[in-house]
A and B are shown apart, each in its own frame.
Chain A
């Protein structure tokens, strides 16, 4: 007994040590965000700030139009989440439950997408958005204007449906009891009614999982906003951070304060909904 107890508490110590190592960069970020530049540059190092400068956060947010960046990131994430929930769940349901010619071929073509990361198609996708006819001052040939460059549409459109979302929803709906559909069909309910009134209300777990997956990837995305936007007005929080850094002398305390604020929404979301984060990873790959 004693030996077992001893090894269990040793494991706990090891676990806490690992946790500390993993969290250390975040702790460093937070303490740095509260220091003065003088303290950061001083030759003697102390981990805990001598004076806690909470006003660093307000100061950091005044460097650039951060309210606008947060607003942009929030709007883009919200629109992406809403549309991807609707589109992916509809397609997932059809692939899981309905019978129609070509279903398997279509589904196979959806699976192929997992092997085509967006980085391999970023140039043609960018050109498609830029040359989109009749938007952003473009004529029917897609010339003359900017297309979807610097627009929410350009940031959202490519991401509102995709392999992972469709696949995730399909896997979830496959495990629904068929008796549900059959009972509803006997009552004369149409397929659309069965989906919207029976399936959707029962799929909160998968919708939450997908919403979190999409919100995280959109909020955190850097490459696509980097390519699609070039005005301050359309900048997202991730771009805001990189601009901060490229200024002549890096004010580490302010940069770390801004980083903390950019990281915070997702960390809070993660702490509140850990279960769904884990679910997303597990259902996309493993059964």
Chain B
């Protein structure tokens, strides 16, 4: 890497057998709880397994059943909607806040901490607080609406608003993450670029679009990949805030896996869902890499 005296590749170089010893404990745990479950899950997805009797091989039956499962289709749709409408605003707002906080403005340390605090708070705690905010009769949102003479909204109990309410909360929670990563990206942009632009008389807005955005491409790409993976796993806030309702308007893929697997004990069927989820995440990650790597290589160093 950075060391100029990096050892040249020699075929006769001694082998550090200690390497295997040092890697073993961590790697065994990693392998046992990542690849083994992945393989077992793949196997279960081809079986009918209710947890009490032995798994019975059923071929592709679980997958064909998935194709006709309207509830699962709804869950896939909801998960996509959730991802799209939480990632985009979160990235735009995160970038905006990062640019704002990058200057030497008084109060930026406090602001940075305040924006980031929701992210260190558990999803359960955050959900409890927002349940209270969204409470139909006593919650502060509806109290506010009433003082303005507006009709109260059944936030989490109305199929039209429930997903939006969950998304709003999730954006609030993970905004700090996007902001911090963008801040790190901004700090790696050489200031000479801005100086040159200033000499050329480019406006701040022009600088933002001509320097900041292109230079942040790897950062944006990284955030996009991570946010996609994370948002496709959305479960905790759904399970706590709405339990998938009302009228399945907020049920998601992981929520369906949880219900089918741990409440109906249809382990085989739920495993097939998990496999589909895995494939979707993989596909989106590959797609992101394809789009993100056009023209420039991500790992510059």
The answer to whether B63 has its CB under 8 Å from any CB of chain A is: no
- Shortest distance between the CB of B143 and any CB in chain A (Å): 5
The answer to whether B64 has its CB under 8 Å from any CB of chain A is: no
The answer to whether B13 has its CB under 8 Å from any CB of chain A is: yes
Chain B residues within 8 Å of chain A by Cβ, number: 101
A contacts with B: majority SS: helix
* Contact of A282 (CB < 8 Å), options: B5, B32, B184, B257: B184
The answer to whether B130 has its CB under 8 Å from any CB of chain A is: yes
- Check B115 against A22 for contact (C-beta < 8 Å): yes
Q: Which A residues lie within 8 Å of B135 (CB)?
A: 252
Contact (A121, B37) CB under 8 Å given A259-B129, A267-B120: yes
Q: Please report the number of residue pairs spanning A and B whose Cβ atoms sit closer than 8 angstroms.
A: 285
Distance A101 CA – B19 CA, assembled complex (angstroms): 10
- Check B37 against A90 for contact (C-beta < 8 Å): no
The answer to whether B151 has its CB under 8 Å from any CB of chain A is: no
B280's closest neighbor in chain A, by CB? Answer: A120
- Check B121 against A98 for contact (C-beta < 8 Å): no
- Shortest distance between the CB of A179 and any CB in chain B (Å): 8
B residues bordering A, Cβ < 8 Å?
1-3, 5-7, 13-20, 22-23, 25-27, 29-38, 40-41, 44, 97, 100-101, 103, 105-108, 110-111, 113-118, 120-126, 128-133, 135, 138, 140, 143, 172, 175-177, 180-181, 184-185, 188, 218-219, 222, 226, 229-230, 232-233, 235-236, 240, 254, 257-258, 261-262, 267, 270-271, 274-275, 277-278, 281-282, 285, 301
User: 7 A-B contacts, Cβ less than 8 Å apart?
Assistant: A95-B23, A121-B33, A124-B37, A127-B267, A220-B123, A241-B128, A270-B116
A residues bordering B, Cβ < 8 Å?
8-9, 11-12, 14-16, 18-20, 22-23, 25-26, 28-29, 32, 40-41, 45, 86-88, 90-91, 93-95, 98-101, 103, 106, 109-110, 113-117, 119-128, 157-158, 160-163, 165-166, 174-175, 177-179, 190-192, 195, 216, 219-223, 227, 238, 241-242, 245, 252, 255-256, 259, 262-263, 266-267, 269-271, 274, 277-278, 281-282, 285-287
